[in-house]
Chains A and B, each alone.
Chain A
Amino acid sequence: MSQFLTSETIVVALVLVATLVAIVARRRRLPYTVSLVLMGLFIAIGTPWKYQATPDLILAIFVPPLVFEAAFQIDLRELRENLALILTLAVPGVLLTTLLVGGIAAFGAHLPVGPAMVFGAVIAATDPVAVVSLFRALGVPRKLAVTVEGESLFNDGTAIVVFRIALAAVMTDTFDPVMGVYDFLLVSVGGIGVGLVLGWIIAQLLVRLDDRLIESSLTTVLAFGAYLAAEYFDVSGVLAVVVAGLVCGNVGMTHTQPSTKIMIFNLWEYLAFLSNSVVFLLIGLNVELALLWENLGAIAVAVMAVVGSRAIVVYGLSAVTRLLHRGRSISSSWRHVLFWGGLRGAISLALALSLPATLPGREELQAMTFGVVLFTLLAQGTTIQYLLDRLGLTERSPHRVAREARIGRLFAAQAGLRRLEQLYQEGLLPDEMWIGLRDGYRQDQMQVTYEMQELFREHAELEEEMLFQARREALKAERGALWDALRRDLLSDPTYEELSTEIDYRLEALDLIYSTRHEPRPADGEVER
């Protein structure tokens, strides 16, 4: 068999195994990513088949879709609320983690300081895929999910930059702190710049196009192209993809047709699922149990270092953020989730695999990395749901679920009715059939509306939530109308800018008002402001 066909067979086999694991995990309600790692381990132990993942394969092929998808679907307004904390955790947090983990590893595992710091950087990036997918399934507050995801998005890029600098220092045996800071800024800002430029260009094209296939292709080119372009200029590819995804998702999608949006989001959901599946399977496949066994002591030190430093970083830096931002901070329960949800995954694995063969203690560092990744996935990943339950973050009252179901039914009925009306107007439905079908739908709608009113009567807080939702929708529609007016030359650019900024402020204000009305007060021991 040719090399090409062999590679294709491996890819198909990996996707097949991942899909089978997904089927079992969903039916048995098991954590999907943990199941994939276990399956990878099982294959690695039970069969002679070995597949060595190269760092380039993970970083250039699998990481861009994962990062792009996450950034693409994040609403910048949601991100902005906890941006200070996210950036604090993602930049100073990564630097602090590197130093703390490196220091503890050097002291506890008797590693030379240089390689210990490289290990600190390897393990500094969090990978909350397992946690975030659980958040979605359990209905955890959206802002918490955005905070966890936002931190991970930015710290991936930061950790890779720190890793490069630390590794270069060890390999050349020289470290100039000033040059280190300069390199860090250059690579980070360069990556952000590439992401901004490419993201903006593609976003402008998306705004002007109305073709779902072309628009989907453009987002694909952007996700992989941003990584490649940044790497070509020796700046951070991951940061470039993050920024490109944010810009494209927030600017490029504002006026996209709903059907195109659905297609693009589905495409990215699928590509992220595929990448995620293969990456976690590869983690299992690449773990050498014998190597782990030989380095059990060092792994134990590494696990303690990672968990301990995560606690210091999350609790310490969130306290600092609170001081710096006039008392605004996240609740203590959110901090616990950020701490215990700081899993490690694909990025750490890729960085560990990319360690040069000549690095002192390379195998030990790889074993420590795999050990930490396995621990966080198997111990933290499987217990995070328990923590969320204990903290009361997964509670969805039956009446909220009932309201959601009724809104869903109303939406579906309205779409059905619109389609029928279209068919009727096109002459494809005879009069009496249209009237019969229309009345059937109207009766369904009336029944659901009545049920909603009854729900509102019993649970008046739902009515208030609906008011906020409706207002939010209306403001978004107002912004869309302004855009249409601009395109039809009814508005000039400055007027459009002024009015749309006003609406953006109103949307932000609405979210603020909602959160101040719905977050428990300090007296309840939850939110500190």
Chain B
Amino acid sequence: MRRIVCATRGGEAGRRTQEYAISLAKERGVRLDFLCVFDPGFAQDLSKELAAAVYDEQRWLGRALLGIARARAKKEGVHAGVEVRFGPVLETIEAYLRQVDASALVIGAPRVDSALTMFKPNRMRGFAERVAEHTGVEVIVVTPPDE
């Protein structure tokens, strides 16, 4: 049975995206995987000890974050797996989609006015198109309800 992958990293769009992915998995009756990808690029200028701590802490936070998502899925009767990976975001997500033979990828777009956004709407669309093109997987971008 092909599965749905929800790439999430918490934040403003996190919960909305997770809830959408849970409802989609329930509707399609497939397994759901929550995936959290950290790009360790910013740690390259740090000291060896601090860079190692950043790696460990990201892994810890990723697990905690996905643990919350999994608990949400369980509450809705959906079985979910969790996976924390490191690497360039696009390539790492694509590799995971291929590895698990995913049928769909669910990602979230933060509010446009959100100060926290790394992904502006046009970047998100470009990102989704690239993943779909490279992997052939359906990509669903969950946007805020009022946008």
A513-B58 contact, Cβ under 8 Å, with A505-B49, A521-B118: yes
- How far, in whole Å, are A469 and B92 apart by their CA atoms in the complex? 28
Q: Which of B7-15, B29-37, B78-86, B125-133 contacts A (4 or more CB under 8 A)?
A: B7-15
* A-chain residues with CB within 8 Å of residue B68 when the two chains form the complex: 463, 467
Q: Using A509-B57, A513-B54 as known contacts, say yes or no to A457 and B45 having CB atoms under 8 A apart.
A: no
Within 8 A of B (CB), among A458-476: 459-461, 463-464, 467-468, 471
Least CB distance, A83 to chain B, in whole angstroms: 14
CB nearest to B54 among chain A residues:
A509
> A463, B10: Cβ atoms under 8 Å?
yes
Interface size for B (C-beta < 8 A) is 30
Decide if B15 touches A467 in the complex (CB within 8 Å): no
Q: Does A165 touch B at the CB level, under 8 Å?
A: no
B45 contacts A506, CB within 8 Å? no
Q: Shortest distance in angstroms between B124's beta carbon and chain A's nearest beta carbon?
A: 14
Chain A residues with CB below 8 A from B64, complex form: 467, 471
CB distance from B143 to the nearest CB of A (A): 14
Judged by a CB distance under 8 angstroms, whether B76 is at the interface is no
Say if the beta carbon of A502 comes within 8 Å of chain B: yes
Say how far A262's CB is from chain B's closest CB, in angstroms: 30
CB pair B12 A461 closer than 8 Å: yes
Inter-chain contact B50/A505, CB cutoff 8 Å: yes
Given A326-B45, A508-B53, A509-B54: A467 touches B13 (CB 8 Å cut-off): no
* A480 at the B interface (CB under 8 A): no
Chain B residues, CB < 8 A from A456: 15
Name the residue on B nearest A457 (C-beta): B15
In the bound complex, how far is the Cα of B119 from the Cα of A523, in angstroms?
Answer: 10
> In the complex the two chains form, what is the Cα distance from A457 to B72 in whole Å?
12
B65 touches A467 (CB 8 A): yes
Point out the residues of chain B lying under 8 angstroms from A505, CB to CB. Answer: 49-50, 52-53
Q: Is the CB of B57 within 8 A of A513?
A: yes
Contact B11 A461 (CB under 8 A): yes
Given A326-B45, A461-B114, A521-B118, CB of A510 within 8 Å of CB of B57: yes
Q: Given A457-B15, A505-B53, A506-B56, are A520 and B61 also a contact pair (CB < 8 Å)?
A: no
B52, B54, B56 pick with most chain A CB within 10 angstroms: B54
Which of A461, A468, A502, A518 makes the CB contact (< 8 A) with B53? A502
Cβ proximity bits A49-74 to B, threshold 8 Å, 1 near / 0 not: 00000000000000000000000000
Interface residues of B in 33-69 (CB under 8 A from A): 42-43, 45-46, 49-50, 52-54, 56-58, 60-61, 64-65, 68
Residue B115 interfacial (CB < 8 Å): yes
Assembly CA distance A516 to B61 (angstroms): 14
List, in ascending order, chain B residues with CB within 8 A of A467's CB: 10, 61, 64-65, 68
A518-B115 Cα distance, complex, nearest whole Å: 8
A460 touches B58 (CB 8 A): no
Residues of B within 8 A of A523 (CB): 120
B16 interfacial by beta-carbon distance below 8 Å: yes
Nearest CB in chain B to that of A327: its residue: B45
A506, B14: Cβ atoms closer than 8 Å: no
Please give me the residue from chain B that is nearest to A516 by CB atom: B42
For residue A171, CB closer than 8 A to chain B, the reply is no
Whether a CB of chain A sits under 8 angstroms from the CB of B116 is: yes
Q: Which 8 A-B pairs have the closest CB atoms?
A: A505-B53, A460-B15, A509-B53, A464-B10, A461-B12, A509-B57, A509-B54, A326-B45
9 A-B pairs with C-beta separation under 8 A? A460-B14, A461-B12, A461-B114, A463-B10, A463-B68, A464-B11, A506-B56, A513-B58, A529-B42
In the complex, given contacts A459-B12, A460-B12, A506-B57, what are 4 additional A-B residue pairs having Cβ atoms less than 8 angstroms apart?
A: A471-B61, A509-B54, A517-B11, A518-B116
A residues sitting closer than 8 Å to B (CB atoms) are 326, 328, 456-457, 459-461, 463-464, 467-468, 471, 502, 505-506, 508-510, 512-513, 516-518, 520-521, 523, 529
